[in-house]
Amino acid sequence: MDVNNSPSHELVGKTFTGAKAGLAWQVKSKVSRPKGGTGGTFSVGYVATDAAGNEYFLKATDIGLLRIDEGKSKLEQMTDALNLQRFEREMLDICTSSGMNRIVRAVDYGELEVVHQGIKEFVFFIVFEKAVGDIRASARGYRSTGISWIPRVVHNLAVATSQLHGKNISHNDIKPSNLLVFDVAVQKLSDLGRATCDDHRGPWDNLKEAGDRNYSAPEAWGYQYSLPMTGRRVSHGYRKRFDLYMLGSLIFFLLTEQSLNVVMSIHLRPEYGPTNWSGDFAGIQPYLRDVHGLAMAVMESEVRETYGPDGLNNLTEILQAVKYLTDVDPEVRGDPRNAMSGLRNHDLQRLISRTDILSKKLALMEKS
């Protein structure tokens, strides 16, 4: 199916009412997908306004865009699409009712009937609070203002991840395009379309990786790795550690403007790649650890070059956090210092606390 020729692409100028909040929405314009962006394959974005003219972001999708197995019958595809939409709405409702202030808030949702190529089809939509953009463009502007923005963004990102984990939700798709900027002090994690939840059955429960493969942890690169299961579902503990890797990878991007996985793959010899390695995951870890170390050296060099020796010194704790969060061994991934407080490695409270303190300290230094 041509993803650019679906009913979800035909909403400009339409007015309709949401099912959750019962608000009237008017679709003003389509939001272009950023060049080189990885999001938006399964949906179409729009700017929509409420009755007072306030702007929001509307995400639209349909059965064709949500198709995950073209070998299935039309009925099965419709069932899958409905389950995908239902599950995402459930996750968003949990986030709203739990007061997750670092997860992009869904204001309304529903479905509408659209005549597409002479056939009536349903389009599902979710209306979100509207951000300025994602972190990729904003980070470039922040770099000229000093370094206090780094621990501030890391703090917001860690809070968002921790809020989800606190309700047994794993995001599974943490990446630059999904960290949205509302202003210099507030960034929020978006897109729960690939989430899993230990308390709710969902469409991705049995998959090793539910999100964007470009940001996956090494255990999902294609090596022989036995997934820890809880019954017939991938364990939530594994999902949390997977989220930690993507969290650390995103911080790596903020510091270097580079992809951690790309940097590691550049240094990984072909015979140790997932398509050529015939051993198990434990056997490949020493080689992955070597290239991970090289990537960490690249990160340190980039920070020193961008912010100078003083900047590198001030960001030492965040660089250390990236190393812990992206450890190639999922069993030890996370902060080992948590054990001193009786916490598990994947707990993010220490990172949340330390980045809050650091951002305030660096902000004061920049003002003086």
**pLDDT tens sequence across 6-35:** 899 999 999 999 999 999 999 999 998 765
Q: How many other C-beta atoms can be found within 10 angstroms of the C-beta atom of residue 53? A: 8
Cα Rg of the chain (Å, integer): 21
Residue 209 pLDDT: 83
User: pTM for this one?
Assistant: 0.93
Q: Which of 141, 193, 181 is CA-nearest to residue 157? A: 181
Report how far residue 116's alpha carbon sits from residue 60's, in angstroms, rounded to the nearest whole number: 14
Q: What does the block give as tokens for 202?
A: 């969902």
Asked whether the beta carbons of 58 and 34 are under 8 A apart, the reply is no
Cβ–Cβ < 8 Å for 44, 61: yes
Q: How far apart are CA 317 and CA 314, in angstroms?
A: 8
Tens of pLDDT along the chain (368 residues) come to 455 678 999 999 999 999 999 999 999 999 987 655 555 568 999 999 999 999 999 999 998 887 656 677 878 878 888 899 999 999 999 999 999 999 999 999 999 999 888 888 889 999 999 999 999 988 888 877 889 999 999 999 999 999 999 999 999 999 999 999 999 899 999 999 999 999 999 999 988 888 898 999 999 999 999 888 888 889 989 999 999 999 999 999 999 999 999 999 999 999 999 999 999 999 999 999 999 999 999 999 999 999 999 999 999 999 999 999 999 999 999 998 888 887 888 899 999 999 999 999 999 998 87
Cβ(40)–Cβ(51) below 8 Å? no
State the pLDDT at residue 40: 53
Please write the tens of the pLDDT for every residue from 327-359.
999 999 999 888 888 788 889 999 999 999 999
C-alpha triplet 234, 238, 242: angle, nearest 5°: 115
- pLDDT number for residue 68: 58
Question: Among 48, 54, 63, which residue's Cα sits nearest to residue 18?
Answer: 48
Q: Which residues pair with 224 in a beta bridge?
A: 280
Query: What is the pLDDT at residue 42?
Result: 82
Contact assessment for residue 245 and residue 333, using Cβ atoms and an 8 Å cutoff: yes
What HEC string does the chain produce?
CCCCCCHHHCCCCCEEECCCCCCEEEEEEECCCCCCCCCCCCCEEEEEECCCCCEEEEEEEECCCCCCCCCCCHHHHHHHHHHHHHHHHHHHHHHHHCCCCCECCEEEEEEEEEEECCEEEEEEEEEEECCCEEHHHHHHHHHHHCCCHHHHHHHHHHHHHHHHHHCCEECCCCCHHHEEEEECCEEEECCCCCCEECCECCCCCCCCCCCCHHHCCHHHCCCECCCCEECCEECHHHHHHHHHHHHHHHHHHHHHCCCHHHHHHHHCCHHHCCCCCCCEHHHHHHHHHHHHHHHHHHHHHHHHHHHHHHHHHHCHHHHHHHHHHCCCCCCCCCCHHHHHHCCCCCCCHHHHHHHHHHHHHHHHHHHC
Could you identify the residue written with the tokens 């407080």?
341
pLDDT of 78:
80
Q: What is the predicted pLDDT for the residue at 1?
A: 47
